[in-house]
Amino acid sequence: MNITQVIAALCVSFGILWDAQAQESSKSIDEIVRLIESAESGSTIIVPPGVYGGNLRIEKSIVLDGQGGVTIDGLGKGTVVELGVGDITLRGLTIRGSGSTVDQEPAGIRAFAGPVIIEHNRIEDVYFGIDLRPAPGSIIRYNVIQGKELGLGRRGDGVRLWWSDDCIIVDNKVDAVRDMVFWYSENLSIARNHVTNSRYGLHFMYSHGTTLEDNELVANSVGVYLMYSNEIHLIKNSIVNNRGTSGYGIGLKDCDAITIEHNALLANRVGIYVDNSPSSVDSYGLIVENKIAFNEIGMLATPITHDNIVSRNAFVENEEQVTVHGRGQLLLNEFSADGVGNFWSSYSGFDRDGDGIGEFPHAPRSLFRSLLAREPNLRIFLHSPAQQAVELTARAFPDLSPEPIFVDAFPLTRPPELDLFVGTQGGGRFPMVGFSAGLLVISVFGGWVVGRQSRLPMVSDSDLSQKAFL
Amino acid sequence: MSSLPIKASDSSPIIKSGSHLSRASSVIAFARREFRDAISSRWFLLYTVAFTVLAVAVSFMSLAGSGSHGFAGFGRTTAGLLNLIMLVVPLMALIAGAGSIAGERERGTLLYLLAQPISRTELLLGKYIGLAIALCCSMCVGFGLSAGVLAWRVGGVGISAFVMLVVFTCGLALAMLSVGILLSVISRRSGVATGLGLFVWLILVFLSDLGLMAGTILFKLRVQEVFVIGVMNPLQAFKMAVIVNMNASLDVLGPVGMYASQTFGGALPWILALVIGVWTIVPLVIALILFSKRGSV
């Protein structure tokens, strides 16, 4: 036996040991299958802790409880857990490693019948997260869903509902997926979900009659996009920093009877985008008591948009407060209701009689804006002194002023007290303080070092020339 | 005092004529002198105070409506600061540069300086460096207090973008200082140099943009053309650089911004930095060549 053979033998035996160790921590999914087979319908199965590899399909109404210590790993193939019948509860599981082939749409959890309860699970490295198709009456709550690291266009949905009415979707935390999307699903309750770094935070397609409350939608391309969905009530959502290339805080596309109230729409590319909503003749849209602040555009609407009531909102420091997508005016929408308009940080009038309403209508005329409508390329000059010069010119020569885009006849002179849910924002204070102090120290200390009176090296050999030089 | 032997390799006639100093130290000496002159100049102090007060005021005002919740205060503050910077910083740097050589020439002190054992190149470089440090220090005061307001009101949101704002502003100041020094070298009188500086400021800040706006409307310029012509202006390059660092994209600047982002992608900030770099180096080199060639003082 020469030395090479010894080394080879050692390697092989070590490899076997190593493999055995790996197998110890990774159990087969068949163990869970056997547990389910031996359980009565309707009973609760507490799964022993461990990592179970493989795909699971459940065809019995049971409660599968991992108590936080169970991981089901699809090993990168297909859907990890499929629910074939209703009345199944999945609780306290970590579900990961679905396939990623687009045509199969593999998911972490896919339910084919309702109602099911999916709660307190962690779902990660999956193509789709939770897919109900259909599973009406289901509850999805307290799950954490993390998508695969794919480009925005290649990801699957974090949560998808397909023809699943009466579902409750609350307290989920979703990150890096495509959408949380609701197809043809009515009468949902969607609250306290937190969606970040995704394409559309909450996306409605032909899904009517739903309330969205206290959701937090941050740093997605679009916060909430409602399409062809009627009677949706958005209340107290926090919609912040959604700035995709065509990103909106809230987008409305052909939706009737929408109510948007008490939302915080902050620092988005566009706060609210209204595209032909309401689309029916006798319908209306209600946008009241929202805070729409620090967006590039507060509210953007297509020229055809009509019959929206926009009142008691605070429009604060949006680069453009309200504007039209293209040319035209928004005169078919009401920017005040019952003699109360909105607060505009850009309003330049005053309140003489002290009733909180400005004495002049707010009818902004921006020459630069109207030039933009003619020639969108001019947008490159935004944020520059030249833009200010154009506006100043228009003020000096009223003949150049364009028609106002909208008129708020009763602008508020003080921001209204709004009941909002703003969510958790803001970074650490310490780095900024340090940075501030650093700059000041650089300027003072740097100034002292450079500027202090010293014996100049070039004249160090002659006091006379030093005096002359100084 | 003892006199050190002159290095044989040193070819500068001035240095050969008796100095034992290295070039670097004479540049540093001039830079220090220029710095002291600058910070004790009333105009410079006035600009510094104006910039600081305005920067702090903009920070306060842009955060006024935000209340207690600290979101995105930085974006608004930057938008406000951008206009301020694009107005004040070029003015400050152009005027400071314009006064440098022409002022000395008019007062007659330039002869005196040139009598020192240094080359003209070193003199000009020293002046440039001294003024550059003075400008950067002056802006650090404004930015430092502005950052303090942000830290106090909203915390550390967007700190990396703020750092880049400071860096690019200093870059803009250096570029404008180069132009100012070039104007100073070609002007015989201080007043002429300052006037030229104001004229260049007017062109860069307003006239070129307004002209390009008119051109865009009249000739229906394509996005590429608008971008290329626009970005030649160091102020536009500066603005785009700040916005691209803040938003990771220029889409807020409409079709032209999108074109730039999509065409150049990750290279865009470097291209913009290059534009500012070219505006810094080219005028300074021309000024150095002209100044060392000109016989007259």
List the one residue out of B170, B175, B219 whose CA is nearest residue B200.
B175
**Which residues in B lie closer than 8 A to residue A426 (C-beta atoms)?**
69-71, 154-157
Query: Distance between alpha carbon A197 and the CA centroid of its chain, in Å?
Result: 6
Q: Select from A243, A425, A437 the Cβ nearest to the Cβ of B70.
A: A425
CB A98 within 8 A of CB A74: yes
| Contact between chains at B256 and A377 (C-beta distance less than 8 A) | yes
**AA letter at B85:** I
Question: What is the structure's pLDDT at A453?
Answer: 61
Residues 6+ positions from B169 with CB-CB distance below 8 Å: B85, B89, B139, B143, B238
For chains A and B, count residue pairs whose Cβ atoms are closer than 8 Å.
222
The token pair at B29 is 């000496």
Cβ–Cβ contact B273 with A under 8 A = no
The token pair at A284 is 């209306």
Question: What is the structure's pLDDT at A54?
Answer: 93
| Contact between chains at A386 and B205 (C-beta distance less than 8 A) | yes
Cβ–Cβ contact B12 with A under 8 A = no
Residues of chain A with pLDDT under 50: 1, 17, 19-24, 455-470
| Contact between chains at A319 and B79 (C-beta distance less than 8 A) | yes
pLDDT tier for residue B1 given thresholds of 50, 70 and 90: very low
Residue A213, H or E segment: strand A210-213
| Contact between chains at B216 and A431 (C-beta distance less than 8 A) | no
The token pair at A467 is 């005096």
Please identify among residues 197-236 of chain B the ones whose CB lies closer than 8 Å to any CB of chain A.
205-206, 209-210, 212-213, 216-217, 220-221, 223, 226-227, 230, 235-236
Question: What is the structure's pLDDT at A23?
Answer: 44
How many angstroms away from the CA of B240 is the closest CA of chain A?
Answer: 9
**Which residues in B lie closer than 8 A to residue A381 (C-beta atoms)?**
209, 212-213, 230
Question: What is the structure's pLDDT at A12?
Answer: 54
The upper half-sphere exposure of residue A92, i.e. CA atoms within 13 Å in the direction of its Cβ, equals 15
The token pair at A130 is 């939770």
List the one residue out of A120, A132, A71, A116 whose CA is nearest residue A96.
A71
| Contact between chains at B20 and A458 (C-beta distance less than 8 A) | no
Q: Select from A384, A444, A459 the Cβ nearest to the Cβ of B86.
A: A384
- How far is A437 from A451, CA to CA, in rounded Å? 20
- Per-residue pLDDT, averaged over B18-25, amounts to 61
Residue A383, H or E segment: none
For residue A41, list its beta bridge partners: none
CA dihedral A41, A44, A49, A50 (to 10 degrees): 20
Q: In the 8-state DSSP scheme, what is residue A254?
A: S
CB A440 within 8 A of CB A386: no
Cβ–Cβ contact B56 with A under 8 A = no
Residues 6+ positions from A424 with CB-CB distance below 8 Å: A216
Q: Alpha-carbon torsion A459, A461, A463, A465, what sign?
A: negative
List the one residue out of A166, A160, A190, A67 whose CA is nearest residue A120.
A67
List the one residue out of A356, A334, A354, A340 whose CA is nearest residue A414.
A356
Question: What is the structure's pLDDT at A435?
Answer: 82
Question: What is the structure's pLDDT at A103?
Answer: 86
Residues 6+ positions from A180 with CB-CB distance below 8 Å: A157, A158, A159, A160, A169, A172, A174, A193, A195, A198, A200, A201, A202, A203
pLDDT per position as a tens digit, B149-171? 877 776 666 677 788 889 999 99
Residue with tokens 């890096």: A176
The token pair at B235 is 């102020």
Q: DSSP per residue over B137-156, as a string?
A: HHHHHHHHHHHHHHHHHT-S
- How far is B237 from B241, CA to CA, in rounded Å? 6
pLDDT per position as a tens digit, B215-253? 999 998 899 999 999 999 999 999 999 888 877 678 778
The token pair at A12 is 């092989």
For residue A96, list its beta bridge partners: A73, A124
pLDDT tier for residue B10 given thresholds of 50, 70 and 90: very low
| Contact between chains at B141 and A345 (C-beta distance less than 8 A) | no
The token pair at A304 is 């055809």
ipTM of the complex: 0.81
The upper half-sphere exposure of residue B133, i.e. CA atoms within 13 Å in the direction of its Cβ, equals 24
Q: In the 8-state DSSP scheme, what is residue A81?
A: E
Q: Select from A345, A381, A469 the Cβ nearest to the Cβ of B116.
A: A469
Cβ–Cβ contact B57 with A under 8 A = no
| Contact between chains at B147 and A436 (C-beta distance less than 8 A) | yes
How many angstroms away from the CA of B224 is the closest CA of chain A?
Answer: 10
Report whether pLDDT(B97) > 60: yes
Cβ–Cβ contact B32 with A under 8 A = yes
List the one residue out of B140, B130, B135, B113 whose CA is nearest residue B35.
B130
